[in-house]
Amino acid sequence: MPIIKNCKIVLIDDEEGIRKITSITLEDRGYIVQTAADGEAGLHLCQETRPHIVLTDVRMPKMDGLEVLANLKKKLPDIEVIVITAFGDIETAVKALRLDASDFITKPLNDDALHTALDRAQERYISRKQVQDHTLLLEKGWAHTTQDLIRTFNFQENLIESSMDGIMGCDPDGTIVTFNRSMAAMLDYPKEKVISKMALDQFLSAEDADKLQNALQAPHYGGENKLYLYETVLSHRSGKAIPVQVSASVLFEQGKKSGTVYYFRNLQEIKKLEQEMAVQARILHQDKMISLGKLAASIVHEINNPLAGVLNYIRLMIRILNRGPLEADRQLKFQRYLDLVEKEIDRCSKLLSSLLTFSRKPSSAFTQVDVNDLLDRCILLSQHKLELQRIKLETRIDAQIHPVNGDYNQLQQCVINLIFNAVDAMPDGGFVSLQAGHDMQKEIVTIAVRDSGSGIDEKDLPRIFEPFFTTKQEGYGVGLGLSTVYGIIKNHKGIINASSPPGEGAVFTIELPFVSNAG
């Protein structure tokens, strides 16, 4: 019984008798046999039928058995070839084995020898097939794994490359092995000039490099072998210092340090923004100090006058009291004097408290602002200045204006700045109108300051909100008032408009949105 199911054999022999007898023996055993009378016909048959085993005589005219074997091994290497040699022809047998024959048998053919050789050839065939299948499977698996690896690698490469933060990987010696796009852009170094050629230390001052390594080892910044939100400075190719925030991790493989990965965030923009904000805050404060100075000057008069009055009344009352007990009609007068004193002192106290509110340190916290109360205080603070310059104040302020979310102090600064500008525009007197109300549909509060002053020149109109733009004489204006107003209103998500209709003075209109979105 053949080991291989439907085992096909091609028998090549020039002796017809041998072909016939051997075929019968083999078919009898269950093999499928086809025969050829010479080497060439045998090869042809093999190509057509792809047998498992070829039995070939060596000695044949034209193409001998060894040539058949060599040809088969070249073209159809899967086929097992058993050569049939003449008895005692060891030399040919060795040649055949060298050419990778499975076996050789000698003539005259012995049944046992033939079947043993066929069994061995089949085993060889099967195990080679198994090895082939296995190799194929391995190759397939390997190709799959390779593809997976490539995909994972590409994904990770992409991940590193697309990071907005700079990523730098160093081997245990500190040599840079990863340097992503953001890193290259941040420091203006092309990747190929850095990878395997430079170390992180070359981007840091010696002192900063030491500090960074110490911080990495110390437990304070995210733990040992870790660094979290540490700040340092890298040097750009031009030598410029780039402030950065670093997070880093020492990597370990099987307990051994395998490198360090650093994540750098460029702080340049943030630092610039911080500086700009500091400048803005300074301007806001500067403007406020100027306004405060102007207010204080006018309020000194405002308080001085009532205080002089109060003093007079008190002196008068003391004088009367010194004369002896109070008569009934005097008592009534006293009552009136005291009422006046109380009123004047109350007014002074209100003025001072408004001034205090105004000078309060700015707090960025927004609260609900009562617009009516805010405007009352603005009027109180500027009243005297208006009176001094013979300016009439007209108010058209709706009762119970919808509150806005904002900074009371800053909004007050805006209105005062607008009123003071109006005053400055009317050295010979005039009128200021303060209007306010709300629009429930548009959900805005409107505050307008209008004056009968000189108006704003058309060419100046686009520039009045610029910081330090002033048309006033030196010592009279810095040019910060309107730019501050603009900044504050913008911060409140509102808008401010200025217009100057010919011959009508100037109009400034502030619109503030209702409620919570201002914060």
Ligand X SMILES: Nc1ncnc2c1ncn2[C@@H]1O[C@H](COP(=O)(O)OP(=O)(O)OP(=O)(O)O)[C@@H](O)[C@H]1O
Query: What single-letter DSSP state applies at residue 37?
Result: S
Sole binder of ligand X in the list 480, 488, 489, 510 (CB under 6 A): 480
| Choices 7-15, 18-26, 55-63, 465-473 (CB under 6 A): range interacting with ligand X | 465-473
Close Cβ partners of 23 (under 8 Å, ≥ 6 residues apart): 11, 33, 35
Least separation in angstroms between residue 470's CB and ligand X is 3
Is residue 484 within the footprint of Mg ion (CB under 5 A)? Answer: no
**Which two tokens mark 81?**
């070839």
Query: What single-letter DSSP state applies at residue 389?
Result: T
Sole binder of Mg ion in the list 178, 405, 413, 421 (CB under 5 A): 421
| Sites for ligand X among residues 406-435 (CB under 6 A) | 417, 421-422, 425
Sole binder of ligand X in the list 25, 245, 359, 454 (CB under 6 A): 454
What separation in angstroms does the CA of 72 have from each of 56, 67, 222, 477? Answer: 11, 8, 71, 107
Identify which of residues 375 and 506 has a Cβ nearer to ligand X in the complex. Answer: 506
Is residue 80 within the footprint of ligand X (CB under 6 A)? Answer: no
Identify which of residues 102 and 483 has a Cβ nearer to ligand X in the complex. Answer: 483
Sole binder of ligand X in the list 266, 470, 488, 511 (CB under 6 A): 470
Least separation in angstroms between residue 285's CB and ligand X is 13
Encode burial over 86-125: b for 16+ CB neighbours within 10 A, e otherwise. Answer: eeebeebbebbeeeebbbbbbbebeeeebbebbeebbeeb
The partner in contact with residue 471, picked from Mg ion, ligand X, none with C-beta cut-offs of 5 to 8 angstroms by kind, is ligand X
Sole binder of ligand X in the list 228, 337, 469, 514 (CB under 6 A): 469
The partner in contact with residue 165, picked from ligand X, Mg ion, none with C-beta cut-offs of 5 to 8 angstroms by kind, is none
What separation in angstroms does the CA of 386 have from each of 82, 299, 349, 353? Answer: 126, 11, 20, 20
What is the bridge-based pairing of β-strands 495-499 and 507-513?
A: antiparallel
Is residue 248 within the footprint of ligand X (CB under 6 A)? Answer: no
Sole binder of ligand X in the list 478, 495, 514, 518 (CB under 6 A): 478
Separation CA 191–CA 271 (nearest Å) = 27
What is the bridge-based pairing of β-strands 256-266 and 241-253?
A: antiparallel
Taking a C-beta distance cutoff of 8 angstroms, is the pair 430, 396 a contact? no
Least separation in angstroms between residue 449's CB and Mg ion is 12
Is residue 461 within the footprint of ligand X (CB under 6 A)? Answer: no
Taking a C-beta distance cutoff of 8 angstroms, is the pair 27, 33 a contact? yes
| Choices 45-53, 85-93, 283-291, 480-488 (CB under 5 A): range interacting with Mg ion | 480-488
Q: What is the number of the residue whose Cβ is closest to Mg ion?
A: 481
Report CA Rg, the chain: 52
Close Cβ partners of 480 (under 8 Å, ≥ 6 residues apart): 283, 286, 287, 290, 467, 468
Is residue 292 within the footprint of ligand X (CB under 6 A)? Answer: no
Which residues contribute to the site for ligand X (CB under 6 A)? Answer: 290, 417, 421-422, 425, 451, 453-456, 460, 464, 469-472, 477-483, 506
